[in-house]
Amino acid sequence: MKCFYASCIAMLHGIDILETPVAVVANFNQPGSVVLAALPLMKEKYKIKTGSRRYEIPKHPDIQLFEPKMSFFIQMSMTITKLIANYVPVDAIHVYSVDESFVDLTGTEKLWGSPEQAAREIQAAILDQYNVPSAVGLGPNMLMAKLAFDYQN
């Protein structure tokens, strides 16, 4: 998922992910606290990204900062995994982290078309239902898929 924590917070608060600069910061009480996620506008306009520090965030009235809601993030991750299970068997989903999974699309061609088409369909469903953007790396195995993802993003 792209900007997973920030996208989940935006969904929870009804914030437009393309129009609002949002960052999720680990701890408001510590200036050196790390930014866990930032929406695209935060990255583009203010140069704040995952790994930036809270003290680097400019004081601007448009910027919205949130602390993490880990139980909500985990719940959303499980909900998205259940959505993916509408496209493939559960044992074809390999959860790697809260915001990343590997999905084996082998044998789904008759239902969803090529792996590229299936991936686009899943991405569209996640975006439509939860307003959480995602990125995909395709490959013949998990290593190649991860390398393709990292190269592309």
Q: What is the CATH number of the domain that holds 120?
A: 3.30.70.270
pLDDT value for 153:
65
For tokens 């600069």, name the residue: 21
Evaluate whether 101 touches 135 at the Cβ level (below 8 Å).
no
Compute the mean pLDDT over every residue in the chain, rounded to the nearest whole number: 94
What pTM was computed for the model? Answer: 0.88
Nearest one of 49, 50, 34, 148 to 102, comparing CA atoms: 148
Query: What's the rounded mean pLDDT across residues 13-23?
Result: 92
Residues 74-131 pLDDT 10s: 999 999 999 999 999 999 999 999 999 999 999 999 999 999 999 999 999 999 999 9
Give the count of domains, the chain. Answer: 2
Q: Do 125 and 138 fall into the same domain?
A: yes
Domain assignment of residue 8, given as a range? 4-66
Q: Do 12 and 43 fall into the same domain?
A: yes
Q: Please pick, among 19, 67, 100, 121, the residue that the annotation labels catalytic.
A: 100
What are the φ/ψ torsions at residue 69 (nearest 5 degrees)?
A: -125, 75
Whether residue 116 lies in the annotated active site: no
Helices marked H in the chain — which ranges? 4-13, 40-46, 70-84, 109-112, 115-130, 142-152
